[in-house]
């Protein structure tokens, strides 16, 4: 018979495993689309414009849904809300894979809505359940997301091209992971629900958060680093091909960029949690971003591997730090949830503009030179926003 101590340890282990599995469902359904976009287009006989919406719809869903997530979680509890979100994700993945243009777009919208809940709630859930290990658990959360993102991008093409399941199987396989995550998470909803009710003494309302300049610099950080991530994911292979690299190798370079992020997405949250002031970390990711983008613009094509690793280090560092800012700049899980909802809503709205705008500039100039300069400008803006957000203070201090 298990002792209370053993039962407690077992519950913690199951909770951590549940967080890991939910984290893995938040990116792979998105990154699995890019490598097989031509199969989807040809299989459904749809236009490039319609195909473009497959990558844009989730970002718009993040922007629209994120502000409503805290209110829903307050009503139903974090555990139940996360369970229902992952269940909705599984449904969306299945609908998207049925081989109909309208179901493709509808399922993609459901996927975006479902992932919005995980994006907003997991950072604050970690702050609440692991107050003394926020950095470590945030690192586990971010690594799980980015590892699954890289795997999703890597295996979707072999499934679509090398099996009888085609592109529908390559997209639909991620429903299995979502269902497993639901099963593993199910014991959590049987426990006492964590309802993040507002408190006048320990939390500030979301409307008050909007009055804080810090909220908006964190939102800008979220948006600019996301813009860089999704725009590079969309256009880096094409940029490298115009520089003379073949299509297969350019795809591998994108994979290198994705996997180079992993160590820093784990380490940066831990370092950020131990530092009172995170501005040194802002300087770190800025330097690596600039090395990568300036190297791509003016450097030797033979050193592309180096430029991709630098961009991966910059991306992993900036993402890991921004995810920690939700906890570091809030006093309670309530504040963290509200701040996360606001920052992710505005941030993903900005990020949704990136791939389309950069592609438009390329079409207008018939060159990737100007878009590459815009990447560098984006990094500089991210630096200034990060330096403001990196100072040791709380959003509540600026509005009370």
Dihedral sign computed on CA atoms, order 377, 380, 384, 389? positive
pLDDT: which is higher, 352 or 200: 352
Question: Phi, psi (5° rounding) for residue 165?
Answer: -80, -20
Res 202: pLDDT: 42
Cβ–Cβ under 8 Å, residues 312 and 259 = yes
What phi-psi label fits residue 77: left (phi over 0), alpha (psi between -120 and 50 degrees) or beta?
A: left
CB-side neighbour CA atoms (13 Å) of 281: 29
pLDDT in tens, 327-370: 898 888 788 888 888 898 899 999 988 888 888 888 888 888 99
Closest CA to 226 of 138, 344, 119: 344
Cβ–Cβ under 8 Å, residues 134 and 273 = yes
d(CA 278, CA 331): 17
pLDDT tier at 4 (50, 70, 90 boundaries)? Answer: low
Percent of the chain with pLDDT over 70: 92
Res 150: pLDDT: 79
Whether 269 has a pLDDT exceeding 50, the answer reads yes
Dihedral sign computed on CA atoms, order 386, 390, 394, 397? negative
User: What one-character DSSP code corresponds to residue 199?
Assistant: -
Q: Same fold for the domain at 8-197 and the one at 201-400?
A: yes
The CATH homologous superfamily to which domain 8-197 belongs is MFS general substrate transporter like domains (1.20.1250.20)
pLDDT in tens, 201-251: 444 455 577 888 899 999 999 999 999 988 888 788 878 888 888 766 777
pLDDT tier at 399 (50, 70, 90 boundaries)? Answer: low
Q: Where are the domains of the chain?
A: 8-197, 201-400
Q: How many CB atoms lie within 10 A of CB 366?
A: 7
- Write the CATH number of the domain with boundaries 201-400: 1.20.1250.20
pLDDT: which is higher, 35 or 40: 40
């Amino acid at each position: 018979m298990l002792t209370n101590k053993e039962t407690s340890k077992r519950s913690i282990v199951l909770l951590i495993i549940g967080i890991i599995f939910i984290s893995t469902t938040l990116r792979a359904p998105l990154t699995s689309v890019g490598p097989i976009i031509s199969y989807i287009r040809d299989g459904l006989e749809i236009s490039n414009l319609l195909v473009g919406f497959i990558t844009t719809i989730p970002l718009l869903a993040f922007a629209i849904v994120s502000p409503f997530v805290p209110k829903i979680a307050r009503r139903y509890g974090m555990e139940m809300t996360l369970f229902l979100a992952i269940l909705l994700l599984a449904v969306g993945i299945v609908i998207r894979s049925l081989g109909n243009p309208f179901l493709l777009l509808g399922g993609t919208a459901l996927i975006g809505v479902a992932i919005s809940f995980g994006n907003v709630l997991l950072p604050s859930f970690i702050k609440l359940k692991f107050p003394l290990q926020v950095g470590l658990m945030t690192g586990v959360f971010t690594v799980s997301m980015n590892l699954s993102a890289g795997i999703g991008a890597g295996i979707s093409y072999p499934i679509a091209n090398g099996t009888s399941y085609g592109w529908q199987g390559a997209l639909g396989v991620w429903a299995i992971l979502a269902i497993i995550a639901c099963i593993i998470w199910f014991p959590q909803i049987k426990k006492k629900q964590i309802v993040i009710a507002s408190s006048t003494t320990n939390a500030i309302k979301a409307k008050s958060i909007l009055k804080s300049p810090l909220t908006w610099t964190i939102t800008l950080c979220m948006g600019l680093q996301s813009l860089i991530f999704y725009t590079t994911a969309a256009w880096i292979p094409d940029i490298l091909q115009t520089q003379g690299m073949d299509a297969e190798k350019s795809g591998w370079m994108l994979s290198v960029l994705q996997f180079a992020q992993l160590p820093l997405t784990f380490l940066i949250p831990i370092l950020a949690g131990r530092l009172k002031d995170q501005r040194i970390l802002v300087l770190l990711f800025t330097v690596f971003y600039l090395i990568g983008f300036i190297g791509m613009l003016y450097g030797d094509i033979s050193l592309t591997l180096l430029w991709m690793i630098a961009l991966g280090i910059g991306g992993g560092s900036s993402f890991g730090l921004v995810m920690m800012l939700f906890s570091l700049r809030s006093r309670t899980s309530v504040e963290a949830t509200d701040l996360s909802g606001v920052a992710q809503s505005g941030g993903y709205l900005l990020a949704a503009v990136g791939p389309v705008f950069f592609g438009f500039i390329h079409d207008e100039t018939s060159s990737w030179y100007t878009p590459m300069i815009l990447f560098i400008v984006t990094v500089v803006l991210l630096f200034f926003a990060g330096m403001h957000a990196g100072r040791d203070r709380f959003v509540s201090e600026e509005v009370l």
